[in-house]
Amino acid sequence: MRDLSGKLRTAGLRTTKQRLALADLLFSGGNRHVTAEILHAEARTNGLAVSQATIYNTLNQFHEAGLLREVIVEQGRSYFDTNLSDHHHFYVENESRLIDIDNQDIAIGDLPQTPTGFEPVGVDVIIRLRHK
């Protein structure tokens, strides 16, 4: 992912040192699923001094800005997914690991009618897996 500065600016976020470094960790490789803890550890490993609060603030801001998708599969911990395409997830329970399901590999037919007065804002499908 090039031009992280542009990406942040487009999202309405200032290009601070911490945000740029975290964006680099998040968006420069392939698609990723991270928790605050994972990202914090990675930042420190890469010599970036960021506080936990900034990790949380940044993840939430990126999420609000539409740069990350939040995935809730475990109680007490949030995952953030850099893959913004319409897709769903396998969740390996023993390993606390998420795996993307390619959109062409799943088809949801006959979604139920949305109750009157409401509008759908998203559909999450989670297939929970365990080791055989």
Residue 64 near a second copy by CB under 8 A = no
Residues lying near DNA in the complex (CB under 7 A): 9, 13-19, 35-37, 49-54, 56-58, 60-61, 75-78
CA distances, 29 to each of 10, 65, 68, 83, 84 (Å): 20, 20, 14, 11, 14
Tokens describing residue 80: 């953030």
Residue 116 DSSP code: T
- Residue 38 binds: one of a second copy, DNA, none (C-beta under 5 to 8 A by kind): none
The residue to which tokens 């960021």 are assigned: 50
3 contact, one of a second copy, DNA, none, CB 5-8 Å limit per kind: none
Does residue 110 belong to the site contacting a second copy (CB under 8 A)? yes
Which of a second copy, DNA, none binds 51 (CB below 5-8 Å, type-dependent)? DNA
Strands 33-34 and 69-74 come out as: unpaired
Binding partner of 53, given a second copy, DNA, none, CB within 5-8 angstroms per partner class: DNA
Please state the length of the chain: 132
**For residue 15, how far is the Cα from the chain centroid?**
20
- By CB under 8 A, name the binding residues for a second copy: 70, 72-78, 90, 92-93, 99, 101-102, 105-115, 117-132
